[in-house]
Chains A and B, each alone.
Chain A
Amino acid sequence: EAGVAQSPRYKIIEKRQSVAFWCNPISGHATLYWYQQILGQGPKLLIQFQNNGVVDDSQLPKDRFSAERLKGVDSTLKIQPAKLEDSAVYLCASSLDQYSGNTIYFGEGSWLTVV
């Protein structure tokens, strides 16, 4: 079974530039998550999708971050304009659905450095 795929794996940008990360969840998984993990901290949920609808985006800095999952499969997370404090690993994860408490599987992450 293929895991959660993410790209690009690494990105270095200057502050105020934009960046986009792509995620393809495990086949058949309805729930998709984007987490932000700053060095030395645990992952923090940015946004959760159930199919193509947003379940929770309460911790997404909406002035600069946006995310979409138009067809209920792939998702894109965009940051524009980036700030130095956005330097982190962006982890995409998926689970079978949002209600059953099924295991959440993580992708390898997209490492962002803002200089």
Chain B
Amino acid sequence: QKEVEQNSGPLSVPEGAIASLNCTYSDRVSQSFFWYRQYSGKSPELIMSIYSNGDKEDGRFTAQLNKASQYVSLLIRDSQPSDSATYLCAVNRREYGNKLVFGAGTILRVKS
């Protein structure tokens, strides 16, 4: 079982819709969770972090964490064509230091 699993996609949504990206992780001691956006040919860019169960909102982005279910998601409201990218989920087990384990990413395509 992979430590961090994501559906590879592509996930296609129309412009203005809500895009929902999901991620599951295997290690219950994972403590912090991150969503990175990666445009083709570019490096990953942090867009959201979440540490506690529940929702965290930042502009059009909402991260949701459920540690009991070992599940983290990212919602993108009012999706724009510029949101088309690969979204990487990453988890950090802090007792091992500040080290991220990444999923393979979900490709999001927003169609105008």
Binding site for B on A (CB under 8 A): 31, 33, 40-45, 48, 50, 55-56, 91, 95, 97-109
Does the CB pair B43–A40 fall under 8 Å? no
Does the CB pair A103–B49 fall under 8 Å? yes
Q: Does B32 contact A (CB under 8 A)?
A: yes
Q: Does B104 contact A (CB under 8 A)?
A: yes
Does the CB pair B98–A106 fall under 8 Å? no
Among the stretches B13-21, B63-71, B74-82, B88-96, the one at the interface with A is B88-96
Chain B residues contacting A103 (CB-CB under 8 Å) are: 46, 49
CB nearest to A38 among chain B residues: B104
Interface of A is mostly: loop
Does the CB pair A45–B99 fall under 8 Å? yes
| Separation of A106 and B47 alpha carbons in the complex (Å) | 13
A-B contact pairs, 23 of them (CB 8 A): A31-B97, A41-B105, A42-B4, A42-B104, A43-B44, A43-B88, A43-B100, A45-B101, A48-B99, A56-B99, A91-B43, A97-B98, A98-B99, A100-B98, A101-B31, A102-B98, A103-B46, A103-B49, A104-B98, A104-B100, A105-B46, A106-B44, A109-B43
Chain A residues contacting B102 (CB-CB under 8 Å) are: 42-44
A42-B4, A103-B49 given; A108·B98 CB < 8 A: no
CB nearest to A97 among chain B residues: B98
Which residues of chain B (1-41) have a CB below 8 Å from chain A?
4, 8, 31-32
Does the CB pair B105–A99 fall under 8 Å? no
Chain A residues contacting B45 (CB-CB under 8 Å) are: 106
Chain B residues contacting A107 (CB-CB under 8 Å) are: 43
A43-B88, A106-B44, A108-B43 given; A98·B104 CB < 8 A: no
What 4 A-B pairs come out closest when comparing CB atoms?
A42-B102, A106-B43, A98-B97, A98-B98
